[in-house]
Structure 1
Amino acid sequence: MENTKLLLLDDREENLISLKAILSREDIDIFATTSPNEALRIVWENDIAVALVDVQMPGMDGFEFAETLVTNPKTKEILIVFVTAISKETTYAVRGLKTGAIDYLYKPLDPYITNAKVDSLIKLARSQKEIRDKNKLLENYATIILNSPDIIATVEPESGNILSINPSVETILGLQPSALMGNTMLDLLVDPVNSELREVLIKRSFTGGETIVVEDQFYGRLRQPVWLELRIMYKNRLLFVNLHDVEKRKAHERALIDAQSQAEKSRKVKEAFLANMSHEIRTPLNGIIGLGNLLAATQLDNSQKELIEMLRQSSGSLLNILNDILDISKIDEGKFSIIPSSTDLRVLGKGIIDLMKFKADEKKLGFELVVMDSVPDCVLVDGMRLNQILLNLIGNALKFTQSGKVMLKIDHLGETDAGHSVRFSVEDTGIGMSEDQIANIFSEYGQASENTSLQYGGTGLGLTISQKLVRLMGSELEVNSKYNDGSQFFFTLLLMDANETADVIRTPISFQDLPPFTGKTVLVAEDNPINALLLKKYLKAWALEARVVNNGKEAVAALKEQRFDLIIMDTRMPEMDGFQAAQIARTQLKIITPILSLSATVLPEEIEQALASGMNDTLSKPFEPEKLHRKIDSLLGVTALH
């Protein structure tokens, strides 16, 4: 507690010394002076609680000093005690009390009486100060409540009746405070029966002493609902309720929910569109690629072989565009994973050069692979995605280079405990780009300029998907380029040594050279006649006896009539799709024959649906015959005859 401050005023120094000796103690700070003017300065600068003032003093006597204190608002609360050696007559004492003194001490001073009186005055001063402070605090609280933007009310706990409420209720709800006195707060609610406030009042959950926070809808202006947050506190047998307007927050929450709902609808529409697009494009594309495979297996002259190769290149380009669109969609939805595996970077680079060499030869361009000697033999990296990135970059470089060369470089920048720092770069001597053009090349469907698109073609997806894949690998695809002076695209990966041998790149095998499956029967459900023809040709080449039906309904009927060793089922067919047919086969017909889903969709949702319906494995169109052969071999559970 802060010490109480006492003022001692006497024109004789020895009297001050005596008083200080009598009153001195730890909880009192004593200010002593022989000058009334000095005493006025002391009371002005310090919070004096009690003043012991000599009556008879030259210049300004005690009565005049007391009157000065009492008439000043800053010093009027000081308790004044006159110290005098003159008469105790009633008229004299009355004059002192009228000037503002509350008591007298008579000289010679009795130490016990002096200490007792001063002690009681100190207690009185402290009590009065406490009351003044509390009154000031109450005044502040009242000001805060009156000017608060929130509604503040006191409520009777048993009935819920409003005992007091501040003017903000008119601003927020359009109601006059005076009109609400005695009404229950539940009467203001939109739905009082199911309100959280009603539950609090019934269960008396507020008696635990903690602040209860609930939200309810109140009727506002023109009976429009308004959400308020209620903070309820129980004290002195009353409920103190603070009601805060949260309508804007609620509106924001509703907008977020609506936006999420709309986003979910948009996502489903997008998925349906992608699934339909994939099916509608992949189904005929599978026919084109498959017919190319069938033609390649026949006797052809050199001119026809060139046409078949061009057909394969064109269909492969179309498939790459479709895959890029689907990959971008999967990356944007967070459904795309990078899967590192043991990869030989030299073999990967050579494979890319061999695959793209024909394009360089067509334009008579130099085309080379440069791998630094210190590049490790095998590293952990997603080889398929790295291959996809580099093919996109090299494809662009070859497209935009008319003379000179294109180079794929793999450089070893150093090794730390975290792994090898390996930079991949594709450099060309092509048309290059300006700074303005560079700014647009990584945007979806964006190209350096409209003229570039018209002259060289392309969707603008290659660099977009490459940048997204590089970022998934923890790096950034960068470019250095000057207009008419070539370009360099590069990125750096941190790669760990692989503990196993890199996967061997398989050379594609003609479907006619794949080993047969003798004595096995296959049910094929496929509504597209070209795809059905392809499957029949492939299966016949592998010594499989095939029965082909047009839809799931016919497949179910066939399963009732005949036993098969394998079922190959398209997922999207008229009358009954493959999912429904597989479910019937498993649940109703109790058939355990392995089922291979053959779908023109590569979306994860459709693959999951196929497996959930009872199918054992999936294969997406367009497919390589060799991959179909491996799937059949696995599902039959036998080793093909050699």
Structure 2
Amino acid sequence: MDKTKILLLDDREENLLSLKAILDRDDIAIYETTSPNEALRIVWDNDIAVALVDVQMPGMDGFEFAETLASNPKTKEILIIFVTAISKETTYAVRGLKSGAIDYLYKPLDPYITNAKVDALIRLSRSQREVRDKNRLLENYATVVTNSPDIIATIEPETGRIKSINPSVNTILGLSPADLINTSMLDLLVEPRSSNLQEVLVKRSYTEGNTIVIEDRFVGMLRQPVWLELRLMYKNRLLFVNLHDIGKRKAYERDLVDAQQVAERARKTKESFLANMSHEIRTPLNGIIGIANVLEATELDFSQRNLLEMLTQSSASLLNILNDILDISKIDEGKFSIVLQSVDLRNLIKGILDLLKFKADEKQIALRSYVDPNVPECVMADGLRLNQILMNLAGNALKFTASGSVEVRVENTGSVGQFHQIRFSVVDTGIGISQDAMANIFSEYGQATDKTAHLYGGTGLGLTISKKLVGLMNGELKVESEINKGSEFYFTFNLAEEKRVVASKESVPFNELAPFTGKKVLVAEDNKVNALLIRKYLTSWNVDLTMVENGQEVIDALSDGKFDILILDTRMPVMDGFEAARFIRQNMKLDIPILSLSATVLAEEVQEALSAGMNDTLAKPFQPAKLHEKIEALI
């Protein structure tokens, strides 16, 4: 506790020494002086609670000193005891009390009486200060309530009637505070019967000191509803209510919901467009790639094989563009996943160079690779996406290089245990990129300049896809370039070494894959070119094949015979693949394996196929080896 400050004023030093000796305590701070003028300075500069003042002093006596203190608002609260040796006559006592004194002490001083009176005055002073402080708090609270931008009210818990309310109710609801006294708060609501406030009042769900928060609509000016947040606290048998205007927040929430609905409609429209576009492009593209696969298995002369290679390259480029568009959509919607598997980096790089060799030879550009001997033979990575990134970067490098070379490099820049820091880079001697254009090259559909797009073509998606894929794989795609000298695109992954290498069937011609002799296969495909290709593949694998054109024909065929596997296109006339699968599972109760063939690769359609009862899916265009792998797994 803070010490109580006491002033001792006496014109004689020995009297001050005597008083100090009597009042020498730890809870008291004593200020002493023989000069009334000095005493006035002390009380002005310090928060004196009690003053022991001698009555008879030269210049200014005790009465005059007390009257001076009482006349000033800053010092009038000081409690004064006169210390005197003069007569105890009533005249002196009355004058002392009139001048502002509380009591008298008579010389010679009795220590017990002196301490007792000082203790009493200290307690009185502290009580007065507490009262003053509380009064100030109440005054401040009243000022805050009156000037608060929120409506602040008290209501009877039993009736909900308003006992007090501040002027803000006029600003917010256009109502007079005086007119609302003894009015039910529920009468101010737009829908009082369904209000949570009524439930609180009826159920009396409030407890002492706890805050209840409710949002509701009140009738405002011109009968317009106003959203207010009510914060209720029960105390001293009253509900104290703070009502805050949340109209702007509610409007923002409505706008946000509207925006979300617009965005959702736009997303569904985009998905529908992408699904249709994917189906319409992939279906004929599957025919082109399939015909190329069939031709590859035939005897061709040198010229024909060159033409076939050009056809394969062109269809692959078209497929890459289509995949890029779909991948951008998947990444932006957070539906893109990275799948780790065993990857032979040397074979992956060799495959990229083999695919791009035709273009490099055509432009007479040296296309080469370097793989650091310290790079592990096999690592855990998403081989499909890594291949896509490097194909994009190497393809871009070839596109923008007129002479010189393009090199794909793979280097081990550090190892910790089984993890290796592998740096991938593509270096070219092409046209380079200006510093001004650097910021634009990774943007969607963006190219370095309009002139670049005109001269070299392209969608501008390759680098965007590559950067996003690298980011998804915890790396960062960077570039260093100099105009007319070339560019280097590079990124680094931390990859775990993997001892096992997974062999691939894709390099094996379809007519050399293992047969499914005697297996009965039912295929539903309405596109004649794709039906022709599937027939070609399956008959080469020695199956007992039945071909139909829609889901209804599938149902009819199943009613007449048994099959080992069904291969259903998803989009067909009369009855599509989804409807057929559901009918087979729910009505016919058959557990025959069903493989879905779809010309879209959207996750929603894959999920729809699985939900309809299909066992697996295969997206068009597909390699025959992939079809063989799916059939083998299902039967």
Calculate the TM-score normalised by the size of structure 1. Answer: 0.94
Q: Post-superposition shift, 1:182? A: 0.8
Q: Which stretch shows the higher mean deviation, 292-301 or 568-577? A: 292-301
Q: Following the alignment from structure 2 to structure 1, what is the Cα–Cα distance between the partners of residues 224 and 158?
A: 28
Q: Give the equivalent residue in structure 2 for 1:581.
A: 580
Q: Give the equivalent residue in structure 2 for 1:640.
A: none
* AA aligned opposite 2:497: D
Work out the percentage of aligned pairs sharing the same amino acid.
68
Q: Following the alignment from structure 1 to structure 2, what is the Cα–Cα distance between the partners of residues 627 and 116?
A: 105
Q: Which stretch shows the higher mean deviation, 424-433 or 544-553? A: 544-553
Q: Post-superposition shift, 1:31? A: 2.2
Residues 477 and 490 in structure 1, CA contact (< 8 A), matched pair in contact too: yes
- CA shift digits 1:346-397 (9 cap, x unpaired): 2222222222212111111112112222222222222222111111111111
Q: Following the alignment from structure 2 to structure 1, what is the Cα–Cα distance between the partners of residues 121 and 626?
A: 104
Q: Following the alignment from structure 1 to structure 2, what is the Cα–Cα distance between the partners of residues 342 and 516?
A: 27
* AA aligned opposite 2:630: K
Q: Give the equivalent residue in structure 2 for 1:137.
A: 137
- CA shift digits 1:309-361 (9 cap, x unpaired): 22222111111111111122222222222223232322222222222212111
Q: Post-superposition shift, 1:299? A: 4.7
Q: Give the equivalent residue in structure 1 for 2:335.
A: 335
Q: Following the alignment from structure 1 to structure 2, what is the Cα–Cα distance between the partners of residues 410 and 297?
A: 34
Q: Give the equivalent residue in structure 2 for 1:304.
A: 304
Q: Give the equivalent residue in structure 2 for 1:563.
A: 562
Q: Which stretch shows the higher mean deviation, 202-211 or 598-607? A: 202-211
2:170 paired with 1:173: no
* AA aligned opposite 2:534: L
Q: Following the alignment from structure 2 to structure 1, what is the Cα–Cα distance between the partners of residues 515 and 317?
A: 31
Any gaps of 5 or more consecutive residues in structure 1? 637-642
Q: Give the equivalent residue in structure 2 for 1:279.
A: 279
Q: Give the equivalent residue in structure 2 for 1:78.
A: 78
Q: Give the equivalent residue in structure 2 for 1:536.
A: 535
Q: Post-superposition shift, 1:506? A: 4.4
Q: Which stretch shows the higher mean deviation, 366-375 or 296-305? A: 296-305
Q: Give the equivalent residue in structure 2 for 1:344.
A: 344
Please tell me the root mean square deviation across aligned C-alpha atoms, in Å. Answer: 2.0
Matches within 5 A, 1:60-209: 60-209=60-209
Q: Following the alignment from structure 2 to structure 1, what is the Cα–Cα distance between the partners of residues 51 and 596?
A: 103
Q: Following the alignment from structure 1 to structure 2, what is the Cα–Cα distance between the partners of residues 429 and 275?
A: 40
Q: Following the alignment from structure 2 to structure 1, what is the Cα–Cα distance between the partners of residues 501 and 596?
A: 30
Q: Give the equivalent residue in structure 1 for 2:470.
A: 470
Q: Following the alignment from structure 2 to structure 1, what is the Cα–Cα distance between the partners of residues 316 and 340?
A: 25
Residues 367 and 406 in structure 1, CA contact (< 8 A), matched pair in contact too: yes
* AA aligned opposite 2:519: K
* AA aligned opposite 1:428: D
Q: Following the alignment from structure 1 to structure 2, what is the Cα–Cα distance between the partners of residues 351 and 295?
A: 21
2:38 paired with 1:38: yes
Residues 506 and 623 in structure 2, CA contact (< 8 A), matched pair in contact too: no
Q: Give the equivalent residue in structure 1 for 2:24.
A: 24
Q: Post-superposition shift, 1:69? A: 0.8
Q: Post-superposition shift, 1:522? A: 2.3
Q: Following the alignment from structure 2 to structure 1, what is the Cα–Cα distance between the partners of residues 592 and 110?
A: 118
Q: Give the equivalent residue in structure 2 for 1:611.
A: 610
* AA aligned opposite 2:527: N
- CA shift digits 1:518-543 (9 cap, x unpaired): 33332221122222222223223333
Tell me, what secondary structure is at the counterpart of 2:248? helix
* AA aligned opposite 1:359: K
Q: Post-superposition shift, 1:115? A: 3.3
Q: Post-superposition shift, 1:114? A: 3.2
* AA aligned opposite 1:501: R
Matches within 5 A, 1:456-535: 456-498=456-498, 500-506=499-505, 508-535=507-534
* AA aligned opposite 2:366: G
Q: Which stretch shows the higher mean deviation, 593-602 or 557-566? A: 557-566
Tell me, what secondary structure is at the counterpart of 1:206? coil
Q: Following the alignment from structure 1 to structure 2, what is the Cα–Cα distance between the partners of residues 94 and 149?
A: 53
Q: Give the equivalent residue in structure 1 for 2:428.
A: 428
Q: Post-superposition shift, 1:505? A: 4.8
Q: Following the alignment from structure 1 to structure 2, what is the Cα–Cα distance between the partners of residues 297 and 346?
A: 27
Tell me, what secondary structure is at the counterpart of 2:194? coil
Residues 7 and 32 in structure 1, CA contact (< 8 A), matched pair in contact too: yes
Residues 506 and 626 in structure 2, CA contact (< 8 A), matched pair in contact too: no
Q: Give the equivalent residue in structure 1 for 2:601.
A: 602
Q: Post-superposition shift, 1:49? A: 1.9
Q: Which stretch shows the higher mean deviation, 556-565 or 587-596? A: 556-565
Any gaps of 5 or more consecutive residues in structure 2? none
Q: Following the alignment from structure 1 to structure 2, what is the Cα–Cα distance between the partners of residues 401 and 343?
A: 29
* AA aligned opposite 1:62: G
Q: Which stretch shows the higher mean deviation, 113-122 or 355-364? A: 113-122
Residues 10 and 16 in structure 1, CA contact (< 8 A), matched pair in contact too: yes
Q: What is the total number of aligned residue pairs between the two structures?
A: 635
Q: Following the alignment from structure 2 to structure 1, what is the Cα–Cα distance between the partners of residues 506 and 127?
A: 101
* AA aligned opposite 1:356: L
Residues 418 and 494 in structure 1, CA contact (< 8 A), matched pair in contact too: no
2:16 paired with 1:6: no
Q: Give the equivalent residue in structure 2 for 1:622.
A: 621
Residues 344 and 379 in structure 1, CA contact (< 8 A), matched pair in contact too: yes
Taking a change above 3 Å as real, the CA distance of residues 423 and 252 of structure 1, as seen in their structure-2 partners, is same
Q: Post-superposition shift, 1:260? A: 2.8
